[in-house]
Amino acid sequence: MRTAECRPTGRSRRLPSQCHRCLSWAWLVAALLLPTAAGASEDRQCQLQISSGTVDYGAVTRAELLLRQVSPLTMALGKQTVTLSANCPQPRLMTVFYRGSSADAGSYRLGEGGAFSLRVLSARLDGRTVGVGTVNTVGQLPLTRGDSAVLAPATGVVPIVDDVPVKGSVLSLQIEIDASVHAIASRVPDRTVFRGNGNFELLEH
């Protein structure tokens, strides 16, 4: 028997040169999301919220995983979605990163032998649908532009209109979580936990 399980991470505080917010995200069963504040007075801070504090893949046997094999070496745990929202007292340019231990260029580690990727499926800014651009650093022109984008390690996403980053007060991102386990890692003698940790980070500028 195998299970994916998490433990909540503790509250952290960072002091960057730019104002930012973080959501600590522990994976996968009882993910407690903790907004943190740093670098600005309380009445000027943007606030991050998540639609659900729990992302649950539950317990699964190897026999069940074999039915979800997507390649000779990969077995799917499945896809789930959450909504990440940022609310700012004034219109700002906002960039969202996910900071976690990378499995490869496009995904993050999930225990020993597991991985998960994050994709922004859609974005809304101040109530209207906008595009999504990807950046490596805050303030640069988007490297890619589209209706959706992969939130890969060391890559941030920004709301765009006509291919240009735009300011806003309320940003909403629908994010898809796609988790999987390597076939070799699925061969376990006892109950095994797959766990990953990271932070959603909002940079305002």
Six-digit token string for 62: 């190897």
For the chain, what is the mean pLDDT? 79
* Distance between CA atoms of residues 34 and 139, nearest Å: 26
Which tens digits make up the pLDDT trace of 147-190?
999 999 999 999 999 999 999 999 999 999 999 888 877 777 77
What percentage of residues in the chain have a pLDDT greater than 90? Answer: 46
How high is the pLDDT of residue 43?
57
The model's pTM is 0.79
* Distance between CA atoms of residues 113 and 110, nearest Å: 7
Which tens digits make up the pLDDT trace of 55-85?
777 777 777 878 888 888 888 888 999 999 9
* Distance between CA atoms of residues 106 and 112, nearest Å: 17
User: Is beta strand 156-161 parallel, antiparallel or unpaired with respect to 164-165?
Assistant: antiparallel
The residue with tokens 């539950």 is 58
Fold exhibited by the domain 47-204: Immunoglobulin-like (2.60.40)
* Distance between CA atoms of residues 84 and 81, nearest Å: 10
* Distance between CA atoms of residues 22 and 33, nearest Å: 9
3-class state of residue 111 by DSSP: coil
* Distance between CA atoms of residues 183 and 144, nearest Å: 32
Query: What is 133-201 written as a DSSP string?
Result: EEESSTTSPPSEEES-EE--TT-EEEEEETTEE--EEEEEEEEEEEEEEETGGG--SS--EE--EEEEE
Comparing 44 with 184, the larger pLDDT belongs to 184
Cβ atoms within 10 Å, residue 139:
12
